[in-house]
Structure 1
Amino acid sequence: MDSWRAAAACQEADPDLFFPVGTGSPALAQAEEAKKVCRRCPVREECLRCAMAGSHPPAGVWGGLTENERRSLRRRLRPGADGRR
């Protein structure tokens, strides 16, 4: 287990909050609630770095970003993504 996890703000929240099901309004509202917890988290950067490091993004909200947001960030950070080589 990563040592930073013990300091994560999500340790005091319902784990289900970070795993919204679906793409409708209830799931979007749930993701926003999870992101509120992330915004006050002292280890948010470490969490996001961990989520971005894997070859397959983990499910749910990690480091304040949803799966789709992390996927989009990964594409923007990919070498050559800005049209330069």
Structure 2
Amino acid sequence: MADVSRLPGPNADIWDWQLEGSCRGEDPGIFFHPEGERGPARAARESAAKAICASCPVMMQCAAHALAVREPYGVWGGLSEDDRDAVYAGRRDLPHAV
């Protein structure tokens, strides 16, 4: 019989923080850019997404998750794709408490 004590816990335990996100119920299009979006349109959409993140009670968990899994797309925990790339490259500090 398999030793179940070595198995990982249920995924729901790992993702519980997402149930508290301010983004729940929002249009996902605010957080993920459409193909080819650039310039002022992209900046405006990212700004709107970051405004939602700014008051989110799980912003730090969200940002930590995105950085840990190297999330390639979207705004997570107030960090855009470019923001996360800057963190990885050492050009930007991590958000507080991540």
Tell me the TM-score normalized by structure 1. Answer: 0.81
Alignment partner, residue 30 of structure 2: 17
* Matched positions, count: 76
2:87 to 70, 73, 79: 73
Higher helix share: 1
> What stretches of structure 1 of length at least 5 have no aligned partner?
78-85
1:1-85 matched pairs, under 5 angstroms? 1=12, 2-21=15-34, 22-54=37-69, 56-76=70-90
- If you compute each CA radius of gyration, which structure gives the higher value, 1 or 2? 2
Task: Note if contact 1:35-1:61 (Cα within 8 Å) is conserved in structure 2.
Answer: yes
Contact 1:20 1:28 (C-alpha < 8 Å) held by counterparts: no
How far residue 57 of structure 1 moved from its aligned partner, in angstroms, is 2.7
- Runs of 4+ residues deviating >3 angstroms: none
Q: Distance in 2 between matches of 1:52 and 1:71?
A: 9
Distance 2:80 2:38 in 1: 11
Mapped to 1, the partners of 2:71 and 2:66 lie a distance apart of 6
Q: Which residue matches 1:82?
A: none
What amino acid maps onto 2:75 in structure 1?
A: V
Letter in 2 for 1:61: V
How much has 1:76 moved relative to structure 2? 1.4
**Over the residues paired in the alignment, what is the CA RMSD in angstroms?**
1.5
Letter in 2 for 1:11: R
